[in-house]
C-alpha cells in the first residue's frame, strides 16, 4: 500500500474508499486523509463528506454552468464569523462560528437556512491570525463533535446540549506549530473521538466519544528536522496500509501514522514539511508518494517519488482522487488547475491558468469537480485526465473576505458557507 504525502493538508485513502482500494494506494496530501466508514444516503455528516474524501455519490447534477448558473434557493445568516464548512444530516445543517459571546456551534434548518439553535463553547472570541472558526462538526447519531480554534474538543447533542469538553493546553500541553489557530475536524471512529492537541507527550489522543475519557495518547519521537513542533492544520484520517489500522495526520514536523488500537507511533515522513503551516503542500514544500510496508510490529514508510514545489504544491483547499487521478489547485495562494497520475507522479494536464483568484477548495460530484476560489468564484470542471474541460462558473450572491470553506453537495444542493452567511444553490 502507498501513501502520497504533500506538505500541508492530507488526503489519506482507506480500504473503504473504492478508488484507493482498487489501486492499493493511500494518499496523504495536506490536512485531509480519506477515512472512515461508508454513510448511507445523501448526508454530508463531516468534513470532506461521508468518506472524508471530498466526493459526493449523488448523480443527476447540472453538467454545465456555461449558459445558466445554479439557482439560489436561500441565503441564511447567523453562522458567526469563520471559515468552517458545514455538515448536513437529514433536515439540519451544522457549522461553527465566532458568535457575539464566543466561538460555538450553530444548527440550521436545511429548508430555509433559519438558525435553530447555537451553543457557545469559549468564554471569549478566540484571537489569532485570520480570526474565526475552522472546524466542520462531525455528526454521528444524536451527537456531534467539534474543536475550537483556541484549542478544545467538545461533544454536544444534536439539540445543542454540551456533553463534555476538554482543553488541549490544560489537559495535554497542546500547541500549534504557528499562529493561525487550531484547524481540525474531529475523527469519530467507532467508540473513539480522535484529535491532535500537539503536545510533547500527546501529539494525538483518542477519547471515549461519549464521555471524553482518555483511551490513549501518542508521543511522537523525532523523525526529521523539517517543520516545527506542535500540531499542523490538518485532520486525522484512517488508513489500512500494510494491513495495520492506523490514523494518519499531518503535524508540524510532517506526516505520521499512529496505530489505532493503542496509539503506538508507527512512522513519520518530513520531506514535505515546512516552517510556516503544514496544510497541503505549499510554502515551497512540494509533494511525495510514500510506500507503507509492515515492519515487524510496526510500519515503515519508503519514499516512491517526490515532486518539487514548481511541479505540485497545493496551498489549501484540498485534493480529490478519481479513478487514480488527483485533481487540485496548484501553487502558493493560487488555484492553477492540475491533474496528476497518482501512481507515477506524471502531470496529465496543467497547470491551467486559474479562473478565480487565490487558493481553491475542491469537491467532486457526478463526474465533475466544483472548485471554489478564495475570491468567491465557483467553477465547474469535468473530472477527466484527457484535458482540462471547464464547464462554466458563477459568482455567488454574497462574498466577504476569503472564501475558504469547502463547497458541500448534499441532497441535490450546493452549500457555500461565507462567514456569517450560508448560501444554498440548486444543483
> What are the structural domain ranges in the chain?
2-426
- Mean pLDDT of all residues in 374-381: 98
Q: What is the pLDDT of residue 410?
A: 97
- Mean pLDDT of all residues in 73-87: 98
231 forms beta bridges with 176, 251
| Dist. CA 313–CA 307, nearest whole Å | 9
Q: What is the pLDDT of residue 281?
A: 78
- Mean pLDDT of all residues in 72-80: 98
3-state helix/strand/coil string of 313-362: CECCCCEEEECCEEEEEEECCCCEEEEEECCCCCEEEEEECCCCCCCEEE
- Mean pLDDT of all residues in 284-296: 96
Three-class DSSP category at 243: helix
- Mean pLDDT of all residues in 329-354: 97
Three-class DSSP category at 20: helix
- Mean pLDDT of all residues in 94-106: 98
- Mean pLDDT of all residues in 385-405: 97
Whether the bond between 351 and the residue before it is cis, its omega within 30 degrees of 0, is yes
HSE value, Cβ hemisphere, 13 Å, CA-based, for 340: 30
| Dist. CA 21–CA 240, nearest whole Å | 10
Nearest by Cα to 208 from 195, 187, 192, 196: 192
Nearest by Cα to 8 from 303, 270, 205: 270
HSE value, Cβ hemisphere, 13 Å, CA-based, for 104: 19
Q: What is the pLDDT of residue 280?
A: 84
The answer to whether the beta carbons of residues 329 and 63 sit under 8 Å apart is no
Q: What is the pLDDT of residue 10?
A: 39
| Dist. CA 131–CA 148, nearest whole Å | 12
- Mean pLDDT of all residues in 217-240: 97
- Mean pLDDT of all residues in 141-165: 98
| Dist. CA 82–CA 276, nearest whole Å | 21
CATH topology of domain 2-426: Methylamine Dehydrogenase; Chain H (2.130.10)
> Residue 359's pLDDT band (boundaries 50, 70, 90)?
very high
The answer to whether the beta carbons of residues 384 and 414 sit under 8 Å apart is no
186, pLDDT greater than 60: yes
- Mean pLDDT of all residues in 363-389: 98
The answer to whether the beta carbons of residues 373 and 354 sit under 8 Å apart is yes
| Dist. CA 130–CA 320, nearest whole Å | 26
Residue predicted with more confidence, 421 or 23: 421
How many residues comprise the chain? 427
Asked which of 30-39, 107-116, 186-195 is least confident by mean pLDDT, the reply is 30-39
Q: What is the pLDDT of residue 37?
A: 40
60, pLDDT greater than 50: yes
The answer to whether the beta carbons of residues 37 and 16 sit under 8 Å apart is yes
> Residue 377's pLDDT band (boundaries 50, 70, 90)?
very high
> Residue 302's pLDDT band (boundaries 50, 70, 90)?
very high
> Residue 62's pLDDT band (boundaries 50, 70, 90)?
confident
| Dist. CA 163–CA 208, nearest whole Å | 12
Asked which of 165-174, 195-204, 274-283 is least confident by mean pLDDT, the reply is 274-283
- Mean pLDDT of all residues in 356-380: 98
Q: What is the pLDDT of residue 25?
A: 32
- Mean pLDDT of all residues in 19-23: 30
Amino acid at each position: 500500500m502507498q501513501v502520497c504525502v504533500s506538505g500541508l493538508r492530507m488526503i489519506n485513502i482507506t480500504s473503504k474508499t473504492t478508488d484507493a482500494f482498487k489501486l492499493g494506494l493511500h494518499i496523504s496530501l495536506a490536512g485531509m486523509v480519506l477515512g472512515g466508514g461508508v454513510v448511507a444516503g445523501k448526508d454530508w455528516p463531516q468534513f470532506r463528506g461521508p468518506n472524508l474524501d471530498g466526493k459526493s455519490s449523488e448523480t443527476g447534477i447540472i453538467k454545465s454552468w456555461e449558459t445558466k448558473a445554479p439557482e439560489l434557493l436561500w441565503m441564511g445568516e447567523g453562522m458567526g464569523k469563520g471559515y468552517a464548512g458545514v455538515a448536513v444530516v437529514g433536515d439540519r445543517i451544522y457549522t461553527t462560528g465566532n458568535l457575539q459571546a464566543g466561538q460555538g456551534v450553530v444548527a440550521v434548518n436545511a429548508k430555509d437556512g433559519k438558525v435553530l439553535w447555537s451553543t457557545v463553547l469559549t468564554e471569549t472570541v478566540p484571537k489569532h491570525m485570520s480570526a474565526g472558526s475552522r472546524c466542520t462538526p462531525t455528526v454521528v447519531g444524536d451527537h456531534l463533535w467539534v474543536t475550537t480554534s483556541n484549542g478544545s474538543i467538545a461533544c454536544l447533542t444534536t439539540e445543542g446540549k454540551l456533553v463534555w469538553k476538554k482543553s488541549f493546553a490544560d489537559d495535554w500541553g497542546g500547541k500549534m506549530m504557528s499562529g493561525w489557530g487550531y484547524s481540525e475536524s474531529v475523527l469519530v471512529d467507532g467508540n473513539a473521538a480522535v484529535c491532535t492537541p500537539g503536545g510533547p507527550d500527546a501529539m494525538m489522543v483518542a477519547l471515549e466519544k461519549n464521555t471524553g475519557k482518555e483511551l490513549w495518547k501518542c508521543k511522537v519521537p523525532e523523525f526529521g528536522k523539517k517543520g516545527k513542533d506542535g500540531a499542523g492544520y490538518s485532520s486525522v484520517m484512517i488508513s489500512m496500509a500494510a494491513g495495520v489500522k492506523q490514523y494518519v495526520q499531518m503535524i508540524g514536523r510532517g506526516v505520521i501514522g499512529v496505530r489505532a488500537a493503542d496509539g503506538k507511533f508507527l512512522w513519520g515522513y518530513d520531506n514535505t514539511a515546512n516552517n510556516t503551516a503544514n496544510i497541503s503542500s505549499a510554502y515551497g514544500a512540494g509533494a511525495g508518494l510514500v510506500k507503507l510496508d509492515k515492519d515487524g510490529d510496526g510500519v515503515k514508510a519508503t519514499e516512491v517519488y517526490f515532486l518539487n514545489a514548481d511541479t505540485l504544491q497545493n496551498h489549501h483547499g484540498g485534493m480529490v482522487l478519481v479513478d487514480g487521478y488527483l485533481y487540485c489547485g496548484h501553487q502558493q495562494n493560487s488555484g492553477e488547475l492540475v491533474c496528476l497520475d497518482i501512481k507515477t507522479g506524471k502531470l496529465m494536464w496543467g497547470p491551467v491558468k486559474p479562473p478565480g483568484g487565490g487558493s481553491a477548495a475542491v469537491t467532486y460530484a457526478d463526474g465533475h469537480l466544483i472548485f471554489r476560489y478564495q475570491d468567491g468564484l465557483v467553477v465547474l470542471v469535468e473530472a477527466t485526465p484527457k484535458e482540462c474541460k471547464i464547464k462554466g462558473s458563477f459568482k455567488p450572491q454574497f462574498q466577504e473576505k476569503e472564501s475558504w470553506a469547502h463547497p458541500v453537495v448534499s441532497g441535490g444542493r450546493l452549500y457555500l458557507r461565507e462567514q456569517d452567511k450560508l448560501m444554498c444553490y440548486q444543483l
